[in-house]
Amino acid sequence: MRFFSKLGSFLSGNLLGCLVAGYKRIPGLYKAAFWTVFVALNIVFAYHTAHFIWGNHEWVYMRDGITWRNFWYEARFTETLPYALFGFELLPILLNEFAFMGISLSLLLLAIYWRIPKEKWAYIGFGLMMAFIPYNLSWLYHVAQTSFLWGCALIISALMILEKIEDKKISFWGHLAVIFLLWFVLGFSAAFINTMLICFIGRCLIDL
């Protein structure tokens, strides 16, 4: 038991150190854009975080928890997996923060993928404009489905990896990562195929 205790302490300490070091290496432009959009989302959608005017889905999951098989009947076989981070419990405020982080990261990656000029005003302006498209509120309709809001980040990550795997040294693992990311996000909902096409076609138009 002492061995596993020491191993756990070692891994947790090193993991935290790696995360801090990795965060410090992120360009200031990216951090400024991410946190500006994240804070703005929290301010604008504060009412959504605070209210509890929910439907039957939310109250059932609040009472019974979320199991890994909850959405299998809709062929959404990976949608519940992100809730493992929360012990498969519906935690309204934390889930909203998780969702807002997903939106902020997605828009940052989209700005990079669409080659928005690397200026602070351009990244922040693009992020805020896209974050507050009225349709985005529909993504927050079900508190129990906020993992959806990480789907865009996974799709854009897959598309960005595809651009890098011309190098034969990472070709196999690159393709494997892309397949896994797309498999995972399409397990959230098959409707994400539309998001993938919009991101890809938008990039093609920009490159014309």
pLDDT of residue 117: 92
**Per-residue pLDDT tens digits for 96-124:** 888 899 999 999 999 999 999 999 999 99
N-term to C-term CA, the chain:
61
Q: Is the pLDDT of residue 68 over 80?
A: no
**Cα three-residue angle 159-100-131, rounded to 5 degrees:** 70
Band of the pLDDT at 166, cuts 50, 70, 90?
A: low
pTM (predicted TM-score): 0.83
| pLDDT, average across residues 12-24 | 71
* pLDDT mean across residues, the chain: 81
Q: Is the pLDDT of residue 1 over 50?
A: no
Q: At what angle do helices 192-206 and 92-113 cross, to 10 degrees?
A: 30
Which of 102-106, 168-172, 185-189 bottoms out in mean pLDDT, i.e. has the lowest?
A: 168-172
Band of the pLDDT at 201, cuts 50, 70, 90?
A: very high
d(CA 108, CA 102): 10
Helix locations, the chain, DSSP H? 2-25, 28-44, 46-50, 56-64, 92-113, 120-131, 151-164, 171-186, 192-206
pLDDT of residue 60: 75
Residue 112 burial class via C-beta count within 10 angstroms: exposed 0-12, middle 13-18, buried 19 and up: middle
d(CA 200, CA 152): 12
d(CA 136, CA 79): 19
